[in-house]
Amino acid sequence: MNRVVPAAELFYRRHPISEEQVLDALRRQGKDPAKLSPEDLYEWDQDHYGGLAAVEALTRRAGISADSHVLDVCAGLAGPARFIAARCAARVTCVDLSPERAAGAKRLTALVGLDRLVRMVRADAQALPFPRSAFTAVISQEGLLHVPDKARVLDECARVLRTGGRLAFSDWVATPRLSLNERRRLEEWMAAVSIQTQDSYRRLLARAGFTGILAEDLSEEWMGVLRRRLEMFRGLRAQTVARLGPRRYEEYNQLYAFFVGLVESRKLGGGRFSAGAGPGIS
Ligand SMILES: C[S@@+](CC[C@H](N)C(=O)[O-])C[C@H]1O[C@@H](n2cnc3c(N)ncnc32)[C@H](O)[C@@H]1O
């Protein structure tokens, strides 16, 4: 029987950040693929806002150290996971829905010699294939926007965290001003489903049993990042058209412009959430 391919999986099949793009960029820089270090990849393998500083912030909020066993949910090409493994010497298990990204993540991790610390599993965040209390920390960056059932994914995070463990994630959050049409457009264009508000994320976290919930507003920071990305993207028009064709260029151009507009009009923003796994959880 044919499998129904989830919209997020289709979206990432066509996404400009891919294993191929990372390897191309390294070739253009004249890097020898046999002598790569994790640092060589950082400029290309992070698919979120705020770069490595944002990963460091999540690392602190999740209390990650060399003793941690971290789960990265919606890990993409495992860029953040490799950074955490290289920086903190922590073990990181990654989960991503996209078969292409999961396979690419494995190859990139092996290429920089981190496969002893970083493991990649292709799975849906709504049904984590791990036993109860398997991890000391769970993180996620700009991935949950694609996951339809947020309550279920947070319940799953709570289930796999051991007591005293910590969850830290960042995601898009809406304000009540985001219209139904704008929500629909976000869903059609980039598989962003069931976008939460700051308050509804707090409620879902509390319902999943998390305690000491901290919600931080990242909207200003993300607005700056988005504006710069749009400028950079437009500056690279010739290269992008040569690589992806004029239609895909225009599609992404409109997507970025739409995003910047939503954030500028305070309908959409970024949030970082962190909380502890209380004794009631595991
Ligand atoms: C914007 S990327 C972020 C990747 C990574 N966290 C990073 O910061 O580099 C979002 C990722 O979420 C993954 N994803 C979407 N829906 C998912 C689901 N239901 N379960 C697991 N991963 C999912 C996508 O395949 C994609 O790789």
Domains of the chain, by residue range, sit at 7-277
pTM over 0.85: yes
Q: 282 pLDDT band (50/70/90 cuts)?
A: very low
**Which of 238, 206, 243 lies closest to 20, judged by CA?**
243
Distance 177 CA to ligand 1 centre (A): 26
The residue nearest atom 25 of ligand 1, judged by CA position, is 98
Please report, to the nearest 10 degrees, the dihedral formed by the alpha carbons of residues 49, 123, 206, 184 taken in order: 60
Task: At 4, list the tokens.
Answer: 């129904």
Segment 117-148, tens digit of pLDDT: 999 999 999 999 999 999 999 999 999 999 99
CATH fold label, 7-277: Rossmann fold (3.40.50)
| pLDDT surpasses 90 at 164 | yes
The Cβ-side half-sphere exposure at 280, using a 13 Å CA radius, reads 7
Residues with CB under 6 A from ligand 1: 8, 12, 46-48, 74-76, 79-80, 95-98, 101, 124-126, 141-143, 146-147
Q: Which atom of ligand 1 is nearest to the CA of 47?
A: 9
Integer CA distances (angstroms), 222 to 23, 32, 54, 268, in order: 27, 34, 11, 10
